[in-house]
Chain A
Amino acid sequence: MTHLLASADRLLLAAEEAGHGAEEFADGGILASGAWLIPVVPMVVAFLIVFFGKRSPYKGWAMATGTMAFVALYGVVLFISNLNQGITYEGAVHLADIGTQSLGEHVGDIFAIEWGWMVDGLSIMMYFVVGVVGLLVFIYAKGYMEGDVRHTWFFASFTLFAGGMLVLVSAPNLIQLIVGWELVGVASYLLIGHYWEEHENSSAAIKAFLVNKVADTGLFIGAIIVGTSVGSFRFTDIMEAIAAGGGDTPLARFAFWAGLAIFIGAMGKSAQFPLHVWLPDAMAGPTPVSALMHAATMVTAGVYLIGRMFPFYMVEGFADEVRGIIIVIGALTLFLTGLLALVQDDIKRVLAYSTLSQLGYMVTAMGAGAYTAGLFHLFTHAFFKALLFLGAGAVIHAVHSNNMSDMGGLRKYMPYTFWTFVIGSWALAGIPVLAGFWSKDEILAGVQFAGSSESGFSIAQGGAGLANLVLVVAIAGAFVTAFYMTRAVWLTFFGTYKGHGTPHEAPRVMTYPLVGLAAGSALAGFLNVPGVTEFFTEGVGARFFEGFGGLEHHVTSIDWALAGLGSAAAIAGVAVGYTIWGPDRETQQARDTFSIPVLYPLLRHKYYIDDFYMDGVVRPVRGPLARAVNWFNDHVIDLVVNGAGWLAAVVARAVYFFDQRGIDGAIHASASVTGGGGGLLRLLQTGKVQQYAILLFAGTVILVAGFVSFAIF
């Protein structure tokens, strides 16, 4: 296929089935082969908004939202037809071959640069989430960003943000995935720093960018190791290499380090402990950005990447030993960041830490081998986290403050926001039958299975004991989640209003998306009830890795004991939160200090991780680096600059001399030759007829003499 692609026609559209029968390829149809539009349209529109947005209807909002509506529609259609029949399609446009000549036939294949689009369960689920959640957030943003200074620019970068995520998700090879990965990073930088007039906000943008960059280095290293040892960056080729089995292949030899490096990349984007520090600060951006970033784009990218490389982490002999690290990092993240949410006053930061915690669940699920559960949690989380952020945005819009100490009692002012927020927080907490309950329960079931003897989760991979410990942590995390969400709801919506002015309900363009997302948060869980409705398992689940034979243990029935334990933890969290913050409405502020001697300062300082990065990493490097750069500037760059200046002066002088003497001389010489010649010829022009006659006769004589002598000789 690659050779066919490498042939003359560079725009040859090639499609091939990925590890499946030809009938699977066929049923994607034009829907799948046209899916390249999903990433391309937002990317193009993002640039169009930059140039024409100001003059378009609603200053770029209409263009951006129209684009998202297209993506959402396409995503929904794909999602539904995928649930019906299961689509696996991979399209590619061959762009270039790099290094074929110098490195020979075989090695040249490595560097085939392709633009492609993947249409399989995993990416269709992401198209759906990015499209639907994105559309609602974009609609909401019209109300939230009304009258903003850089309104058009905001929607241009926002569209780029979504488009970058779609590029990432549609990537059938690691190179394109990295392109999308970095696009998302750049767009997030632009959006977090949207209000750059305040130094804090631009610092947050830089922090997000740099922390991500540190992690991205891991992804690059991992991608290079995998790509060069497989001989191709395409996921289908990588999967084939994995299916061929471990042993002494190059991929298997470096698998642990490659897997670790790729996971570090995922840790950055998905903000896993200890690289999570950028995400709470990213709240500096406008609320719609936070909503989209936390729900559909950016932070889900890491989980998506692990999902994409899932067999690499699961099949024995490859990066399976990284699983232990993944599961531990996920568990640490879900528990530690959940605790941090307890002491935040900024409502968006509470939600940010809860996102971290939920991402911890997803990563834990991936590490435990519960592929479907992890992605299902990503799916449901997208709905309720977008809902919670948009609700928080509506509240912030009403009270003009991010701090919950300025809120309280908003229940009667903002009924729509209140009810949808409560649904979102219950869904997040995992209260039965809302979306979060089903997905979290599946994760718990997956971790429990990893801890059982039949899972084959070996000591080298982490061991059953570890998995059982993580299961305890995950249940404790469910308790903490319910606990801090109860606190947030009570401090925001109950008690007495402590802010200024009279808050008012958000405009309809903002509340309608809330209602839509609340419906999603309530109902999305029913897409995958074990043993009853298994649409999600069918459409997205690990059956797409069939070539590997039972990568994932499929949970076929609800484990009532475990589900009861999980929901008991959640309800206990709500109850404990209620007893601490709920009834005593007058003194809730005093109670909020939540003072436990050692724990409280630790939480307030975010485990001193930010301080460690600042004092332990940034400052020791920054000072000497600044001095070194300064020295380099004074001694080397200035020298070069001065040298260049001196050289330029010398050259200029030479050029001046040449100009004056050479070029001007030539011009003057030609002028004086012409003038002199003219002067000489002028002497002939006497005006005397007889002189002319003399010349005439003389000329005749010369001519005749010439002819005669010619005739004679």
Chain B
Amino acid sequence: MIITQFVILGAALFALGVYGVLSRRNAVLVLLSVELMLAAVNINLVAFDAFVADRIAGGQIFALFIIAVAAAEVGIGLAIVLLIFRNRRSANVDELDLLKL
């Protein structure tokens, strides 16, 4: 089995996610980019699981965990974004500089 294409796909997806997190101003899109990064990790996990032919399929189990965690994270993240939008009429991350104070 050749693993290269999967790893490249994972890396590309991760890079795309990083780019999205750093460059997008909208908080929803930032969250989406985070999801992309998680997906890239999932691809890597599944690919290496297949590659080493793990008998208990540990990589796949971790991938399932990550999907569950990602769902929960999106739930909380979107709730936060919604509240920020309600309070400040904007969901742009570069306007959210309260940490500076």
**Could you tell me which A residues sit within 8 Å of B by CB distance?**
685-690, 693-694, 697
In the complex, chain A residues whose CB is within 8 Å of the CB of B98 = 687
Measured CB to CB, the closest approach of chain B to A694, in angstroms, equals 6
B21: contacting residue among A685, A687, A690, CB under 8 A = A690
Q: Decide if B97 touches A688 in the complex (CB within 8 Å).
A: yes
Report yes or no: B21 in contact with A693, Cβ–Cβ below 8 A: yes
* Chain B contacts for A688, CB-based, 8 A: 93-94, 97
Shortest Cβ distance from residue A309 to the other chain B in the assembled complex, whole angstroms: 99
Partner of A687, one of B18, B30, B100: B100
B9 contacts chain A at the CB level, 8 A cutoff? no
The tally of CB-CB contacts under 8 A between chains A and B is 25
A686 touches B22 (CB 8 A): no
List A contacts of B93 (CB < 8 A): 688-690
* B101:A693 contact, CB within 8 angstroms: no
A690–B18 CB distance below 8 A: no
Residue B8 interfacial (CB < 8 Å): no
Q: Is the CB of A694 within 8 A of B97?
A: no
How many of chain B's residues have a CB under 8 angstroms from any CB in A? 13
Chain B: minimal CB distance from A696 (Å): 10
Within the complex, the shortest CB–CB distance from A703 to chain B, in Å, comes to 15
Residues of A within 8 A of B94 (CB): 688, 690
In the bound complex, residues from chain A placing their C-beta under 8 Å from that of B30 are: 690
- Which residues from chain B contact A686 at a C-beta distance below 8 Å? 97, 100
> Are A690 and B99 neighbours in the complex by a CB distance under 8 Å?
no
Interchain residue pairs with CB less than 8 A apart (13): A685-B100, A686-B97, A687-B99, A687-B100, A689-B96, A690-B21, A690-B22, A690-B23, A690-B30, A690-B93, A690-B94, A693-B22, A697-B18
User: Would you give the shortest CB distance from B85 to chain A, in whole angstroms?
Assistant: 16
Which one of A689, A693, A694, A697 contacts B99 once the chains associate, using CB atoms below 8 Å?
A: A689
Which residues of A sit under 8 angstroms from B21, Cβ to Cβ?
A: 690, 693
User: Contact check: which of A687, A689, A690, A694 meets B101 at CB < 8 Å?
Assistant: A687
B residues less than 8 Å from A690 (CB atoms):
21-23, 30, 93-94
A693 to B96, CA, bound (A): 14
- Best-buried of A686, A689, A693 by chain B (most CB within 10 Å): A689
* B23, B98, B100 — most chain A CB neighbours (10 Å): B100
Q: Which residue of A lies closest to B25 (CB)?
A: A690
Structural contact, A697 and B97, CB atoms closer than 8 A: no
- Extra A-B contacts (12), CB below 8 Å, given A689-B99, A690-B23: A687-B97, A687-B98, A687-B101, A688-B94, A688-B97, A689-B96, A690-B22, A690-B30, A690-B93, A690-B94, A693-B21, A697-B18
A704 to B42, CA, bound (A): 20
When C-beta atoms are compared, the residue in chain A nearest to B27 turns out to be A689
CB distance from B17 to the nearest CB of A (A): 11
Complex contacts, B23 vs chain A, CB 8 Å: 690
Cβ < 8 Å to A, chain B residues 9-38: 18, 21-23, 30
A234 to nearest B CB, angstroms? 91
Which chain B residues lie closer than 8 Å to A693 at the CB level? Answer: 21-22
A693 to B20 Cα, complex, angstroms: 11
Q: In the assembled complex, how far is the CB of residue A372 from the closest CB belonging to chain B, in whole angstroms?
A: 109
Q: Mark B73-101, 1 if CB is under 8 A from A, else 0.
A: 00000000000000000000110111111
Residues of B close to A687: CB separation below 8 A: 97-101
Q: Nearest CB to that of A692 among chain B residues?
A: B99
Chain A residue with the shortest CB-CB distance to B96? A689
Which residues of B lie under 8 Å from residue A689 when comparing CB positions?
93, 96, 99
A697 vs B97: C-alpha distance when bound (angstroms): 19
Who on chain A is nearest to B24 by CB? A690
Q: How close is A549's CB to chain B, nearest CB, in angstroms? A: 113
Residues of A within 8 A of B22 (CB): 690, 693-694, 697
Chain A's closest residue to B97 (CB) is: A687
B47-86 residues with Cβ-Cβ distance < 8 A to A are none
A687 to B23, CA, bound (A): 16
Measured between alpha carbons, how far is A686 from B93 in the docked complex, in Å? 12
Which chain A residue lies CB-closest to B94?
A688
Minimum CB–CB distance for B75 against chain A, Å: 20
